[in-house]
Amino acid sequence: QVQLVESGGGVVQPGRSLRLSCEVSGFRLGSYVMHWVRQAPGKGLEWVAVISDDGTNEYYVDSVRGRFTSSRDNSKNTLYLQMSSLRVEDTAVYYCAKGPHGMSPEHNWFGPWGQGTLVTVSS
C-alpha cells in the first residue's frame, strides 16, 4: 500500500540548517506532484512547498521562500526539504503529502500524508 515516511527532524539552533527526507513506497514517485505541509505545536495546517513530478517546478509559501528548497530523487523514491536560516517560528511537525495524479502543482489536494517529523528550532 501507499506509504510516506518522513525523517530528519530534530532540535536545531536558530540560523542553522536541516534536511528532511520523505521516502515513499507503493507508488511511482515520478508520476506525482509532492508537497510539504507543516503544523506548529497545537496549531493548524500550513502549506509550505510543492515540487512538480519531474522536479522542474517548485512553489513556496512566502515565509520560507529563499530559505527552503524542495528536491526529489525519483530513482530513490525520496523527496527532500532543505531548510536553511531556520527561525523559531519554523518549529513544527513537517508532513510530506502526495498530490493527485495528472494535476498541475498549483491545483492539488493532498493524500495520503506521512506521519510527520518534528523540527524544533531553539537556542
Partner 1 sequence: DIVMTQSPDSLAVSLGERATINCKSSQSILHDSNNKKYLAWYQQKPGQSPKLLIYWASTRESGVPDRFSGSGSGTDFTLTISSLQAEDVAVYYCQQYYSIPITFGQGTRLEI
Binding site for partner 1 (CB under 8 A): 35, 37, 44-47, 50, 59, 61-62, 95, 100, 106-116
- Of 58 and 78, the one with the shorter C-beta distance to partner 1 is 58
Shortest distance in whole angstroms from residue 26 CB to partner 1: 14
Nearest alpha carbon to residue 66 among 54, 75, 58: 58
User: Which residue's CB is nearer to partner 1, number 13 or number 104?
Assistant: 104
For partner 1, give the closer residue by CB, 54 or 106: 106
Least separation in angstroms between residue 67's CB and partner 1 is 15
| Residue 105, preceding peptide bond in cis (omega within 30° of 0) | no
Q: How far is the CB of 9 from partner 1 (least distance, A)?
A: 14
Beta-sheet strands, E only, within 26-91: 34-39, 45-51, 58-60, 68-73, 78-83
Question: For residues 16 and 40, which CB has a smaller minimum distance to partner 1 in the complex?
Answer: 40
Q: How far is the CB of 16 from partner 1 (least distance, A)?
A: 25
Q: Which residues fall within 8 angstroms of residue 120, CB to CB, at 6 or more apart?
A: 9, 10, 11, 12, 91
Place of cell 530513490: 76
